[in-house]
Structure 1
Amino acid sequence: MALQHILPGRLGFGTAPLGNMFRAIPDEEARATVEAAWDQGVRYFDTAPLYGSGLAEERLGEVLSTKPRDEFVLSTKVGRVILDEREETARDLGEKGGLFEHGNPNKILHEWTAEATERSIEGSLKRLGTDRLDIVWVHDIAQDFHGDQWLAKFEEARTGAFRVLSRLRDEGVIKAWGLGVNKTEPIELTLALDEPRPDGFLLAGRYTLLDHEHALTRLLPMAREQGVEMVVGGPYSSGVLAGGTHFEYQRAPAEIIERVGRIKALADKHGVSIKAAALRFSLAHPASAAVVAGATRPSRIAEDLAALNETVPAAFWTELRAAGLISPAAPLPQNA
């Protein structure tokens, strides 16, 4: 099923920060943030077992389990099974090492086989306090977590998770499935397969103001040709486009800070918030079905919704392009 027929709006709530990404968030702050998203009309929520070893799912489920299940869309991911035993050594998360050091202490089994996929879904349902999932993404079968071994992990998922999720979709247990990754290559490889056929993708960080050239050149033409849509994750590039200091889950390097400064200067000139620029850009491509932004404070939800509805003058995009800050091939947002 096409993502546009499943998703209830253009803005989703991403829960990676609720897994204590970068910092330990008080339970009451996490709960208030989810409640704020609900109260302000957000009805698409995305999560994953990886986020704090189940912590984000638990926090999200605490709130959503009190809401009418038919009134929201829920996606989570497979590829990580959360075990009862504690992790006694440093986690191996590839380039993302230390990302969730403040999360739950539970050990994580990284596996994309059929059996692990079913265990992952079972665990997610329990933590989320729900009886069903709408969308399931196959999580992180890419270079940033597995280096040179990523193709082996992809093959494990192709013969395991892909087939399980295809069956569950065909049986009507879930509405859709796809990949949830931070790199374009696994999606390109999936689109080149004869089978199975995913419904869409969650692509994080690769179609943003700061990084979009590769996706424009290779991935998005393939997706458009096959009629496959994507949800854009990480529209703020780990926070640096929203006033934060992280890019690609690490401290932002000087060249990125300088680039953000140039974008912000043009945004200020035209009276545009940089959040609005980031969200509107990521949604402008015809293949973009929605954007998922994370938050850990209730006030951020109102900011995101206001940014989504902000009018951005065409002259701003023209100047961004003239300054070489966005690709000449990138579709420009149209003012509402």
Structure 2
Amino acid sequence: MSLKEILPGRLGFGTAPLGNMFRAIPDEEALATVEAAWGQGIRYYDTAPFYGAGLAEESLGKVLSVKPRDSYVLSTKVGRVILDEPETAVRELGEKGGIFEHGNPNKMLHEWTAEATERSIEDSLKRLGVDRLDIVWVHDVSQDFHGDLWLQKFEEARTGAFRVLSRLRDGGVIKAWGLGVNRTEPIELTLALDEPQPDGFLLAGRYTLLDHEHALQRLLPMAQEQNVGMVVGGPYSSGILAGGAHFEYQQAPPEIIERVRKLKALAEKHGVGIKAAALQFSLAHPVAAAAVPGATRPSRIAEDVAALNEAVPAAFWHDLRASGLVNPAAPLPNGA
């Protein structure tokens, strides 16, 4: 079954911000945001143990666990096991260091073995308060590892998580599995394997208005040929395309700020919202099945729905390509 057959719509809800990403979020605000997503008709929710060391799953579960389970699609991730004991050392998370400093204090293990995968799924089900998952992503298998080490971690995932998730899918326990990463290389490597094969992937930040060159070169042609779908994570590039100040989990550098300024000027010229341009661009590729922007305020959900449905004139897309701000090979909405 393809991702497009599994997912209930083009817009989902990404819950990384519910892990207290960048700031401490009052519980009532977090729960109201999930309820707002439900009220706006969103029925695909993506989460992960990594988001606030289980906090995002706990918050999401408080809302979804009382909804009819057959009425929504739920995905989470494996690769981090959350322990009951507190973390006493500084967490080494590379570019993601510090973004969940306001989350739960629990210690996290970075493991992609079969045993860790099964434990992670069991723990996620408890935090979410549900009896099953629809999609499971192998999380950040390339994150923060360099040289031969990331290949060792990938091999751990290939012989561990990949095989466990393939067995669960083939047995009907889950509907699909894939990689949830912000690097294209591990997905390309996985698609080149003879076994086991994923159903799709969640690619965060690598197919946006600001960063899509690498994905277009190799990954997306491979995925299209193999009929493997993509969920677009971070379509607003950590918030800089939605009025925020972050890009790649850090303060945006001057060159990115300047590029965003040019994109906004072009959008304003055509009376187009920058969020609409960003979201619809990411979804225009044939491989894209859905996008999962995150939010921590209920009002942001309505903005995302409006951005998805905004009528963007073909002239904007033509000017966008002519401006050189996007790769000329990138598909644009409505055949522009």
TM-score using structure 2 length? 0.99
Q: 2:34 is matched with which residue?
A: 34
- SS of structure 2 residue aligned to 1:289: strand
- Report the alpha carbon displacement of residue 99 of structure 1 after superposing the two structures with TM: 1.4
User: Alpha-carbon deviation of 1:315?
Assistant: 1.0
State the alpha-carbon separation in 2 of the partners of residues 161 and 281 from structure 1: 32
Match in the other structure for 1:85:
85
Counterpart of 2:234 in structure 1 is: 234
Aligned residue number for residue 307 of structure 1: 307
**What does the per-residue CA deviation read over 1:202-246, in whole Å, with 9 as the maximum and x for residues that have no partner?**
001000000001111110000011111110100000000000000
CA distance in 1, matches of 2:127, 2:32: 18
Matches of 2:6 and 2:319 in 1, distance apart? 36
Aligned ranges for residues 145-294 of structure 1 at < 5 Å?
145-148=144-147, 149-294=149-294
CA contact (8 A) 1:8 1:43 kept: yes
Q: Any idea what the Cα deviations from partners look like across 1:131-177, whole Å, max 9, x if unmatched?
A: 000000000011x4222221111100000000000000011000000
CA contact (8 A) 1:47 1:77 kept: yes
**Take 2:281 and 2:131, find their aligned partners in 1: how far apart are those partners?**
35
Deviation at 1:253, TM superposition (A): 0.1
What does residue 51 of structure 1 align with? 51
* Stretches of structure 2 lacking an aligned partner (at least 5 in a row): none
Partner of 1:318: helix, strand, or coil? Answer: helix
The residue identity in structure 2 corresponding to 1:299 is S
Whole-angstrom CA distance in 2 between matches of 1:169 and 1:121: 13
**Structure 2 CA distance, aligned partners of 1:74 and 1:66?**
14
User: Which residue is 1:140 aligned to?
Assistant: 140
1:319 shift after superposition: 1.2
Which residue does the alignment assign to 1:100?
100
State the percentage of identical aligned residues. 81
Contact 1:313 1:335 survives alignment (8 Å): no
TM-score by length of 1: 0.99
- Count matched residues: 335
Per-residue deviation, 1:335 = 8.1
**Aligned with 1:272: secondary structure?**
coil
1: distance between equivalents of 2:84 and 2:63?
23
Q: Tell me how far apart the structure 1 counterparts of residues 135 and 292 of structure 2 sit (CA, whole Å).
A: 14
Cα pair 1:311 1:335 within 8 Å, conserved: no
Residue identity opposite 2:6 in structure 1? I
Counterpart Cα distance in 2 of 1:51 and 1:166: 24
**Aligned counterparts of 1:242 and 1:216: Cα–Cα separation in 2:** 23
Structure 1: tracts of 5 or more residues without a match = none
Question: Does the Cα contact within 8 Å between 1:55 and 1:104 map onto a contact in 2?
Answer: yes
1:129 aligns with 2:136: no
Q: How many angstroms apart in 2 are the aligned matches of 1:96 and 1:30?
A: 21
AA aligned to 1:208 is: T
Displacement after TM superposition at 1:320 (Å): 1.3
Cα RMSD (Å): 1.0
Letter in 2 for 1:147: H
- Structure 1 runs of 4+ aligned residues shifted over 2 Å read none
Q: Which residue of 2 aligns with 1:327?
A: 327
Partner-residue secondary structure (3-state), 1:209: coil
CA distance in 1, matches of 2:228, 2:216: 14
Q: Which moved more, 1:45-54 or 1:85-94?
A: 85-94
Structure 1 CA distance for aligned equivalents of residues 327 and 94 of structure 2: 30
SS of the aligned residue for 1:99 comes to coil
